[in-house]
């Protein structure tokens, strides 16, 4: 037993063996529990598709073996008497590894949320792209914070002094990324608030078109002429956007002038004639027709109806059909519409 009492760094070999046994025992116990939980939650996730089970599985899968080993090592060395410098180095290493592990856990949480949102986005490629981009942005932010925490606690670096020392260089960098960050946060606002989606027809500053893609920095729309117009996301949030997504019907109002030579009987019959002309169209719903006012050379009728379609082509087709039907009925009844005339009187 004299060999086991031999001291190495102020601890006997027996102490080192016991410490190693504690460390290895702790490591294998925690590792076994984690593996058991992973198998359990994987089976439950496949069987029930429960969101909490999926979340727990993602977190457990991001648990790194090096962290478990460090936990075991930490418990093992508690049995030993080590120099302060050794304990300090081990404690700092534990802080680094734990901070990294927290980064992996939060990264796993973001991956889980990204997968959930991507599944909800279905076939919307633009929305999926935005979701993954925001996930990447979130993970970058997490790792920046992790690195700052490590520098603050391990290297004893004064981050406030470091940031202040950047001086003009820091201001220049801030100005350079200001617009980029502005557009990125505008994109996040568009994604969360959903003022428009891919496929919506919108009008911005008298420019109308169909939304083709919503990116991190810009949104692209295709106009009726076929050209592609690109808007910065920050500009869109500051503009008045007209969205026709929820448009289900279009209200149409028109005025028709009838000659003052038209008889009283025909004038009384005209509202019914207009109503009949509109009701004959499949997508048109008649609202009203009235003699609105009297002018010097014409009687003015105001007609209001709805076109039950959001499609612009169907809207124009129905509108044209209504006009043609009204003109046909007026010609059959020999009712004239006035037109500008000029009378020239020649005195001999």
Give pLDDT tens digits for 50-94: 667 777 777 787 777 877 888 888 788 777 777 777 777 777 877
Higher-scoring residue by pLDDT: 244, 341: 244
Cα–Cα dist 21/16, whole Å: 9
Give me the chain's average pLDDT, please: 81
What beta strand segments (E) does 21-90 contain?
A: none
Per residue in 261-277, pLDDT tens? 899 999 999 999 999 99
Higher-scoring residue by pLDDT: 51, 333: 333
Percentage of the chain beyond pLDDT 90 is 23
Average pLDDT in the 116-127 region? 66
Q: How confident is the model at residue 158 (pLDDT cuts 50, 70, 90)?
A: low
pLDDT given at position 3: 65
Q: How confident is the model at residue 113 (pLDDT cuts 50, 70, 90)?
A: confident
Cα–Cα dist 131/245, whole Å: 22
Q: Which token pair is 163?
A: 């940031």
Q: How confident is the model at residue 175 (pLDDT cuts 50, 70, 90)?
A: low
Cα–Cα dist 52/232, whole Å: 38
| Predicted TM-score (pTM) of this structure | 0.48
pLDDT given at position 114: 80
**Which domains occur in the chain, in start order?**
7-157 (no CATH), 166-246 (2.30.30.60), 250-332 (3.30.70.100)
């Amino acid at each position: 037993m004299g060999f086991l009492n031999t001291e190495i760094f102020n601890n006997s070999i027996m102490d080192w063996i016991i410490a190693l046994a504690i460390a290895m025992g702790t490591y294998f116990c925690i590792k076994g529990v984690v593996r058991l939980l992973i198998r359990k939650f994987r089976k439950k996730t496949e069987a029930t598709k429960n969101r909490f089970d999926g979340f727990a599985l993602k977190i457990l899968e991001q648990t790194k073996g090096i962290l478990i080993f460090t936990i075991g090592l930490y418990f093992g060395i508690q049995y030993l008497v080590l120099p302060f410098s050794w304990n300090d180095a081990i404690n700092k290493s534990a802080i680094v590894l734990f901070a990294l592990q927290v980064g992996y856990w939060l990264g796993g949480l973001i991956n889980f949320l990204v997968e959930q949102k991507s599944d909800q986005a279905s076939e919307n490629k633009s929305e999926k792209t935005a979701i993954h981009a925001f996930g990447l942005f979130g993970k970058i932010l997490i790792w920046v914070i992790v690195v700052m925490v490590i520098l603050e606690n391990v290297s004893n670096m004064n981050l406030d002094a470091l940031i202040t020392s950047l001086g003009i260089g820091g201001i220049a960098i801030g100005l350079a990324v200001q617009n980029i960050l502005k557009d990125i946060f505008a994109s996040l606002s568009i994604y969360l608030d959903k003022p428009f989606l891919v496929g919506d027809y919108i009008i911005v500053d008298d420019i109308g078109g169909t939304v083709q893609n919503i990116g991190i920095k810009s949104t692209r729309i295709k106009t009726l002429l076929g050209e592609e117009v690109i808007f910065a996301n920050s500009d869109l949030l500051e503009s008045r956007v007209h969205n026709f997504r929820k448009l289900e019907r279009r209200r149409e109002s028109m005025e028709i002038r009838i000659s003052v030579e038209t008889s009283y009987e025909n004038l009384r019959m005209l509202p019914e004639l207009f109503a009949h002309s509109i009701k004959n169209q499949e997508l048109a719903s008649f609202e009203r027709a009235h003699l609105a006012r009297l002018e010097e050379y014409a009687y003015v009728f105001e007609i209001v109806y709805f076109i039950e379609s959001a499609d612009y082509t169907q809207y124009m087709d129905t509108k044209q059909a209504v006009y043609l039907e009204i003109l046909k009925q007026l010609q059959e009844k020999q009712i004239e519409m006035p037109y500008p005339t000029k009378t020239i009187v020649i005195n001999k």
